[in-house]
Each structure stands twice: as C-alpha cells, then as structure tokens.
C-alpha cells in the first residue's frame, strides 16, 4: 500500500520540501483530497484491486463500479479471444492502466452516447455524455441523474430544429419539405453529435444531410467506424449510411501551407448545397439549418493549472482540447476563443438558421455572445443569441451548477 501514499503528499508539501516558498491561495491549486487510510483498508478487504482503482476514482463507490465493468470486459475478452492469459491477469493490467489515469473509455473501447454506442480510441476526444429524457411537470416521480454535457446540447439542438421546422410548416401550410434538412458539425471527433442528431431527427424528417468536419484523420477514421458500428447495432436508420458524410478540413483555415484544406474550400467543392457562396443550382434551395460544434476551448493556463483533470491532460489529445497558440488574423478575442471567431464568421456566411456551440464556462459563453454581436453588426438580418441554460428553471432541470460547469451558446436567425 506504500505506492498509494506517494500521491497523498500535497502539492504544497512537495514544493516546500524543495526549499521554495510559495504564497498560499494566490494561484489555483489542484485539490485532491487525501483518501483516509481506513477507507483504503476497507477497500482492500473487499477486493485487492479496489485500492489500485481508488487512486484514480477517489471514491469507493465509483471504484467498485469501474472494477465491475472492467471485470465484465476482461472475462468477455478472454472468452472470445481464447488467449492463453486468463482474465485475472488481464483485469490486473487493466486496473493498473486505470490507476495511472488512463481513461476507462479507452480501456473498454466504447462509451454510451444517448442510445448509441460510440467507439473510443487513443487520439480522439471521448464524448462527454449524460442521458436526458423529456419530461412533464407533475411531481410524482423524481429521477436524479448526473450532470449532462455534450449530449444535452445535442438533445437541445434537436429539439430546437424540430420546433423551427414546425413553426415554418405552420406558416407555409405545407407539410412536406422540398429540400433536405442540412446540418454541419464542426470538430466532430468521434462523430457522436452527427450520429446522435441523425438518430433523433430521422423519424421526423424525410431527408437529412449531415456533414461532419474534423482536421484529424484519426478522428475521421473512427467517426466512419462509429457510423458502421451503430448501423450494425441497429441504432441508426439505414439511410444514415448515405445521409452522413465526414470531411477533412481545417476550421481555422490555414489552408495555404499545410496539407489540410480549409473549411471554405471544402464547402465550395464538396458541399455546395450548404450555400456558402451561392453556387448551387437555383432550382434547389440551398442553406444550412443547423451549425453545431464542440470546438477546443480550454486556455493554455487552464490546461496546466489543475482545472483540467490529470487523466484528460495526459491521455486525451491536446489538439481537441486547446486551441493553437497564435493566430495572426484575429486580434479581437482571447486565444482560447479563436475557434468561436472562425465558426461564427462561417455561420454568418452560411446564413445558418441555428447555431449551437459548447463553451467551457459561463464567462466564455458571455464572451462568445459578445463576439457574435460584434461580428453580426455589419451583417443585415436579426439574430437572437443566448447562453443556455441561463434561467434558474433550465439550470435546475438540466442539472447545471449555477456558476461552474460548461455552457452552450444558441444563436437563432430571425426572419
């Protein structure tokens, strides 16, 4: 049990033992409360692997759960692969990997996202997900869940798209749309948002056209795999195979020198229907209905000062978390917001009816709303930009903390 003790020495003790004096509470210090020794001994009695997992999980309850999931996978693997090594040794090595902070989703290879099963692999960001059910107001049963993340933005976006479509149909009095619903998902990663949107919207729209864009070829390969995987599982309608397309492009548009082409050129050559430059044939109405993105948004300081979890920092791709250092073309925003600058400019160019963006916290979301106001001031047309969830009711209903945690920005184009 000695190995566990090493991590208990607090950051301060370690620094002070080196001989340097640091002022307290001036910088944000990683807070990792020490696990009581009695808890470790109790865990050890229950299962000898629990204390190893406790190093990363921090509570016995979650360690117990993770051990169960790992054991299930180890037993299943040893049966299917019929390898010489038994499941016990496999489980042990899995637990040791996890204790070093290796994400559970990379060890197990997948993560549930809505009703989908998203494959995860080193080099691609793991989707942050929590389930959400639509509910009505009659307080008889109360279901408590943990905080929703990317998934809840996806659900909210799907809800809004349906609402907008219904409103438009009411106005025009024509139940059938002539053109497909077009969605563009920037920085798609595993492709989870694109796939979940298809699963949610396919029953309500006859035609869908979803484009997932990412800069990483690893991510695009995995996204394509996820599409096939969920088609096989039967979670996606058969049309998903043709409706969803993944493209490689750089959202920041450094196109000229690197091998990756910029988003503008991709839109022009491969996605003319999204109406970037009005090059589409006139008989087919062009336009983008939803632009959704979960871009990298962590600042360099927040990545290092302990706000970002160790496991995320060490094992998930920095490319998907922190925007690149400097961008000479953009001066009016802080470095971590460059992606929003480019995406909002693109949204204005595409005349996207709805734009949904995930942000790190409340302040960043407010900055993005302000940025949108500045960019849209030169454009004609009216927009409504809001931080979601911001009202008390929405916060409570969706489990967001009043001050902390991620936020979404929802921008609607008003006719």
Partner 1 sequence: MLSRLHSWTSSRTLAIPARLFSQTPIVPAKPLPPRLKINDSDISISYLKGTGPGGQKINKTNSAVQIIHKPSGVVVKCQATRSQSQNAKIARSLLADRVEAQEKGDKSRVAIKAAAAKKKKASKMKKTRRKYRELGEGAKEGEIEEEEDEIEIIWDDDVKEGENEETESETRGEAKSSEGSGKGV
Is 233 a binder of partner 1 (CB under 8 A)? Answer: no
Taking CA atoms, 198 is separated from 55, 58, 220, 272, 401, in Å, by: 39, 37, 17, 21, 29
CB under 8 Å, gap of 24 or more: what pairs does 297-305 form? 297/323, 297/336, 297/337, 297/339, 297/340, 297/358, 297/359, 297/360, 297/364, 298/322, 298/336, 298/360, 299/334, 299/335, 299/336, 300/325, 300/335, 300/336, 302/336, 302/360, 305/27, 305/28, 305/30
Strands 382-388 and 290-293: unpaired
CA 363, CA 14: separation in Å to the nearest integer?
33
- DSSP helix/strand/coil, 188: coil
Are the C-beta atoms of 119 and 110 separated by less than 8 Å?
A: yes
Q: How far is the CB of 33 from partner 1 (least distance, A)?
A: 13
Is 148 a binder of partner 1 (CB under 8 A)? Answer: yes
Strands 354-359 and 382-388: unpaired
Taking CA atoms, 65 is separated from 45, 170, 210, 326, in Å, by: 16, 49, 36, 42
Binding segment for partner 1 among 8-16, 82-90, 126-134, 218-226 (CB under 8 A)?
126-134
**Number of residues engaging partner 1 in binding (CB under 8 A):** 63
Binding segment for partner 1 among 3-11, 121-129, 329-337, 339-347 (CB under 8 A)?
121-129
Q: How far is the CB of 361 from partner 1 (least distance, A)?
A: 7
Q: State which residue, 102 or 205, has the beta carbon closest to partner 1.
A: 102
Is 62 a binder of partner 1 (CB under 8 A)? Answer: yes
Dihedral sign from CA coordinates of 85, 89, 94, 100: negative
Q: State which residue, 128 or 341, has the beta carbon closest to partner 1.
A: 128
Least Cα distance to 228 among 218, 219, 238 occurs for: 238
Q: How far is the CB of 49 from partner 1 (least distance, A)?
A: 16
Enter the tokens of residue 91: 């489980």
Q: How far is the CB of 312 from partner 1 (least distance, A)?
A: 5
Q: How far is the CB of 153 from partner 1 (least distance, A)?
A: 10
Is 396 a binder of partner 1 (CB under 8 A)? Answer: yes
Among 39, 75, 321, 375, binds partner 1 (CB under 8 A): 321
Q: How far is the CB of 369 from partner 1 (least distance, A)?
A: 17
Among 14, 146, 173, 325, binds partner 1 (CB under 8 A): 146
CA atoms within a 13 Å half-sphere pointing along the CA-CB vector of 129? 22
Q: State which residue, 34 or 310, has the beta carbon closest to partner 1.
A: 310
Q: State which residue, 167 or 394, has the beta carbon closest to partner 1.
A: 394
Q: State which residue, 51 or 148, has the beta carbon closest to partner 1.
A: 148
Site for partner 1 in 358-387 (CB under 8 A): 358-361
Is 11 a binder of partner 1 (CB under 8 A)? Answer: no
Binding stretches for partner 1 (CB under 8 A):
57, 62, 65-66, 69, 103-105, 108, 111-112, 114-115, 125-126, 128-133, 135-150, 294, 296-298, 302, 307-309, 311-312, 316, 320-321, 358-361, 396-401, 404-406
């Amino acid at each position: 049990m000695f190995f566990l003790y090493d991590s208990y020495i607090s950051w301060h003790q370690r620094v002070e033992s080196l001989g340097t004096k640091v002022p307290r509470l001036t910088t944000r210090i990683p807070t990792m409360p020490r696990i009581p020794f009695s808890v470790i001994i109790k865990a050890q009695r229950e299962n000898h692997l629990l204390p190893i997992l406790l190093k990363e999980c921090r509570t016995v309850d979650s360690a117990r759960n993770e051990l169960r999931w790992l054991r299930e996978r180890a037993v299943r693997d040893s049966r299917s692969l019929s390898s010489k090594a038994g499941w016990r040794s496999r489980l042990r090595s899995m637990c040791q990997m996890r204790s070093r902070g290796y994400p559970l989703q990379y060890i197990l290879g997948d993560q549930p996202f809505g009703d989908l099963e998203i494959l995860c692999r080193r080099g691609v960001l793991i989707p942050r997900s929590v389930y959400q059910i639509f509910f009505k107001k009659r307080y008889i049963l109360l279901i408590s869940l943990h905080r929703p993340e990317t998934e809840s933005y996806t659900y909210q976006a799907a809800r809004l798209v349906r609402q907008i479509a219904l409103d438009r149909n009411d106005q025009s009095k024509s139940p059938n749309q002539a053109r497909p619903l077009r969605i563009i998902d920037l920085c798609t990663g595993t492709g989870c948002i694109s796939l979940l949107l298809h699963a949610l919207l396919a029953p309500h729209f006859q035609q869908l056209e979803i484009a997932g864009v990412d800069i990483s070829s690893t991510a695009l390969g995995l996204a394509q795999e996820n599409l096939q995987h969920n088609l096989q599982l039967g979670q996606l309608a058969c049309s998903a195979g043709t409706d969803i397309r993944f493209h490689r492009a750089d959202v920041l548009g450094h196109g000229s020198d690197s091998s990756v082409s910029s988003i503008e050129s991709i839109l022009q050559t491969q996605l003319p229907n999204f109406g970037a430059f009005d090059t589409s044939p006139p008989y087919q109405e062009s336009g983008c209905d939803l632009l959704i993105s979960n871009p990298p948004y962590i600042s360099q300081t927040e990545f290092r000062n302990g706000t970002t979890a160790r496991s995320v920092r060490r094992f998930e791709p920095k490319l998907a978390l922190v925007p690149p250092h400097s961008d000479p073309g953009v001066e009016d925003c802080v470095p971590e917001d460059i992606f929003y600058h480019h995406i909002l400019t693109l949204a204005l160019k595409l005349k996207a009816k709805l734009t949904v963006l995930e942000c790190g916290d409340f302040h960043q979301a407010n900055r993005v709303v302000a940025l949108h106001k500045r960019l849209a001031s030169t454009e004609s047309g009216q927009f409504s930009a809001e931080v979601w969830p911001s009202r008390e009711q929405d916060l409570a209903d969706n489990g967001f903390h009043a001050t902390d945690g991620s936020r979404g920005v929802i921008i609607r184009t008003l006719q």
